[in-house]
Amino acid sequence: MLELAGCEYGDFERLVRKEGVEAALVTLYGLGVYLTVDELKGRRRAVRGSATIDVVPSQLWNPSSTVHLLGQTGGSRGTPAPVPHDLRWVRDGAVNKLLAIEARGGRSWRHANWETPGGGAIVQLLRFSAIGAPAVRTFVQLDPAIPGVSPAYGRRVRLLRWAGRVLGVPQPHPRYVALEQPLPIAHWMAAVLRAGETPHLMTFTSPAVRLCRAALEAGVDLRGAQLTVTGEPMTAARLAAIRRAGATVVSRYGSNESGTMGYGCLRPEAPDEVHLWHDLHALVQPGSSLPDSGLPGQALLISSLRPTAPVILLNVSMGDQAELVQRACGCGLERLGWTTHVRTIRSFEKLTAGGMTFLDTDVIRVLEVVLPARFGGGPTDYQLIEDEADGGGACLRLLVHPAIGPLDADAVAQVFLEVIGSESP
């Protein structure tokens, strides 16, 4: 793409020196140097003028990196794509994690993780070990023994333990805790609080809400507990549900390909406000230029800055949009130099709920092709709405046009889930 734009290395270097990183990236976007999430995944060819480019995700791997650990993108977006991890990159992220945790006063906290087992979870656990505060608990949301679950998840659980042994940072034995029954985690957190220490749990947003609601209903006191959440929008309703249980929460923003890009502001104006880690990544927005790119004006275009980055990203969209704000908040993260705020982060190309992500192209095919073929109607007769249930929980509403006639609601929902699930491990 740089070649098509007539931009050689020297041109790029002079542009950055003259205009600065962000202005240079905006200029390159105007010249057609960018990737949408479908192009990044190799699901759609990149067309720039009369040229067509077939993007192979592995071509974006950093050739100067050593692959110490091979993770993968979420299988819920379709065929999982491998993502390499270099331990030097793990260490770079650990430096920022240490600074962010210390800004929260959390160096001595008792850390734990509750996610689906995968490369990203392993990296987060290794970073805790790197800062001298290894996790004391690892909870997983998926039981690898359930019939029909991909064997990959069982391998990942074992990898959590093996990676720790090989790298000399032993990890706790993963314990399965179902999303529907989160009280074992609440009881662990309460026990840590009674011992005069602070529990800190990293998880997705919806599971954090489930956990806090279950604790409140069971009378488990979580006052003083700390949460760091990611993977879904933190809304006002979800924030209120967590706070009702007495816990404090901040958001973390990132992706499998980029790693963490932003960490929660400690004096936020919006529930999901984070400080951009601009020493690791640059973020720019398209604005009103290149409307034929299909990207909205507030889309986030990510570029990797560190030579240790596992994937070389140059104006890459992950399908998210947000507000980029420069403001003085006075929190510890601003004093460290992270002054750019990212907030109201929402997806325009994918659906995320309960920690699972689906590309719009997959969802649309089910709504416009599969369901009409099975139950009747046409492409616009089935619609999916992302909503919040009472208390801030994630809720998806599948609406069917009344003209189709009486239908078994459970049957429609089951077909939707079966088809979505059949395309993912």
Does any domain span residue 55?
no
pLDDT of residue 363: 78
Does any domain span residue 44?
no
pLDDT of residue 344: 92
The H or E element that residue 242 is part of is helix 236-244
- Judgement on whether residues 394 and 285 belong to the same structural domain of the protein: no
Does any domain span residue 13?
no
Q: Shortest CA distance to 344 belongs to which of 324, 319, 370?
A: 324
Of 299, 316, 346, the position where a domain reaches its end is 346
CA angle (424, 214, 256) in 5-degree steps: 35
Question: What is d(CA 315, CA 285) in angstroms, rounded to the nearest whole number?
Answer: 9
**What does the pLDDT profile of the chain (425 residues) look like in tens digits?**
999 999 999 999 999 999 999 999 999 999 999 999 889 888 889 999 889 999 988 888 888 877 766 665 544 444 555 677 788 888 899 999 999 999 999 989 999 999 876 666 778 888 888 888 888 998 988 887 777 777 777 777 677 677 667 767 677 888 899 988 999 999 999 999 999 999 999 999 889 988 998 999 999 999 999 999 998 888 888 898 899 999 999 999 998 888 899 999 999 999 999 999 999 999 999 987 776 778 889 999 999 999 999 899 999 999 899 999 999 999 999 999 999 999 999 887 767 666 666 765 577 778 878 898 999 987 678 888 877 776 666 778 899 989 888 999 999 999 998 888 776 65
Q: Are 46 and 1 a contacting pair, CB within 8 Å? A: yes
Counting DSSP H helices and E strands in the chain, the numbers are 13, 20
* Cβ partners under 8 Å of residue 61, min gap 6: 84, 310, 311, 312
pLDDT of residue 75: 43
Of 292, 317, 346, the position where a domain reaches its end is 346
- Judgement on whether residues 391 and 264 belong to the same structural domain of the protein: no
- Judgement on whether residues 310 and 405 belong to the same structural domain of the protein: no
- Judgement on whether residues 246 and 386 belong to the same structural domain of the protein: no
- Judgement on whether residues 339 and 369 belong to the same structural domain of the protein: no
Q: Which residues share a beta bridge with 316?
A: 35, 302
Burial 165-185 (b: 16+ CB within 10 A, else e): eebeeebbebeebeeeebeeb
- Judgement on whether residues 212 and 101 belong to the same structural domain of the protein: yes
- Judgement on whether residues 163 and 117 belong to the same structural domain of the protein: yes
pLDDT of residue 424: 61
- Judgement on whether residues 235 and 363 belong to the same structural domain of the protein: no
pTM of whole model > 0.75?
yes
CA angle (181, 259, 210) in 5-degree steps: 15
Does any domain span residue 15?
no
CA dihedral 46, 52, 57, 60 (to 10 degrees): -100
pLDDT of residue 129: 84
CA dihedral 20, 25, 31, 33 (to 10 degrees): 150
CA angle (201, 205, 208) in 5-degree steps: 50
Q: Are 293 and 286 a contacting pair, CB within 8 Å? A: yes
Q: Are 343 and 322 a contacting pair, CB within 8 Å? A: yes
Does any domain span residue 8?
no
Q: Shortest CA distance to 250 belongs to which of 260, 239, 258, 236?
A: 239
CA dihedral 83, 89, 92, 93 (to 10 degrees): 20
**Looking at residue 271, which CATH number applies to its domain?**
3.40.50.12780
Q: Are 383 and 399 a contacting pair, CB within 8 Å? A: yes
- Judgement on whether residues 254 and 120 belong to the same structural domain of the protein: yes
- Judgement on whether residues 250 and 383 belong to the same structural domain of the protein: no
pLDDT of residue 77: 41
Does any domain span residue 9?
no
Is residue 244 left, alpha or beta, with left meaning phi > 0 and alpha meaning psi from -120 to 50?
A: alpha
For 35, 63, 271, the CA distances from 59, given in Å and listed in that order, are 13, 9, 37
Does any domain span residue 22?
no
Q: Are 226 and 256 a contacting pair, CB within 8 Å? A: no
- Judgement on whether residues 330 and 386 belong to the same structural domain of the protein: no
Structure tokens at 180: 């529907």
Domain count, the chain: 2
Does any domain span residue 313?
yes
Domain enclosing residue 82, as ranges: 69-346
- Is 214 strand, coil or helix? helix
Of 324, 346, 368, the position where a domain reaches its end is 346
Q: Shortest CA distance to 278 belongs to which of 262, 266, 295?
A: 262
- Judgement on whether residues 161 and 279 belong to the same structural domain of the protein: yes
